[in-house]
Amino acid sequence: MVKPFEKTILVGYRYIHFNAVIINCWITTSSETGLYDNRGFTREEKFQLITGHWAIISFFIALCIVLWLLRTDIRDRHLDTKRSTVPATIGWIFIGFFLAFFSQSIAGMIEMYVLGIKPGSENTARLMDIARTTPWFLIVISIIGPILEEIVFRKILFGTLYKKFNFFIAAIISSLVFAAIHFDFTHLLVYTAMGLVFAFLYVKTKRIIVPIAAHVAMNTLVAVAQVLVSNEQIQEMIKEAEKMQGFIGGFLV
């Protein structure tokens, strides 16, 4: 009999494999049928459009599937008497947003001054390029993506591990997987730090909506800011951030 944890990993692996096959077919079909031809797009822009459109479709389907699989948990959620009250939940959402932002900043400073890693994420830059070409892709980055990630990595993966191990082991393992799935290994520490915060919020409130809302708020802020701000302005802001972190870091060393 397949255990729940093993079933989760199996379903996740099959979905990733299925998604890779379908997106390859989507790109091939789009290229052969000329779906994005004769519209003045460069080759790179066409690839971004194809990626963006398929991401919107696949993430929406994945969200529907996950919510359907969790329909019993969603229906019985009110039976958990240890859940935070509504006012406390709202408060923890705001606190969680600032905790995640603070942890990201501290992790970024450690990467810069201890590990010698330059600020700026290639993964985020690629996603923003797709979003500028396909604005609807912002829904995936800001809303659908964070919802799926919190359900998979916090509710399912962390929740399963937390039943067998203590908080730190479960949180670190799930956070490392959360970091690795972003394929941005240079900034593994930043993603891990945020994963730890989201795991803490889930345990503290017993409500998955809290890390979801904090994650959505953070991603939305970053996505909207980067779409509205030009690349030149972003580079200037990074330089200013380096100066500020250098000033703060001087007190920490």
Could you tell me the two tokens for 206?
């017993």
82 three-class SS: coil
Distance CA 115, CA 23 (A): 36
78 counts as catalytic: no
Distance CA 157, CA 2 (A): 16
Long-range contacts (CB closer than 8 Å, 24 or more residues apart) made by 244-250 = 245/105, 245/108, 245/109, 245/112, 245/113, 248/109, 249/109, 249/112, 249/113
Instruction: Characterize 234-247 residue by residue with b for buried, 16 or more Cβ atoms within 10 angstroms of its Cβ, and e for exposed.
Output: eeeeeeebeeebee
182 counts as catalytic: yes
Catalytic residue among 53, 111, 149, 215: 149
Q: What are the helix (H) ranges across the chain?
A: 4-33, 43-69, 71-75, 86-113, 122-133, 137-139, 145-149, 159-162, 167-180, 188-205, 209-228, 231-252
Cβ–Cβ contacts within 10 Å for residue 73, how many?
15
Burial of 172 (0-12, 13-18, 19+ CB in 10 A): middle
Query: Which residues are catalytically annotated?
Result: 149, 182
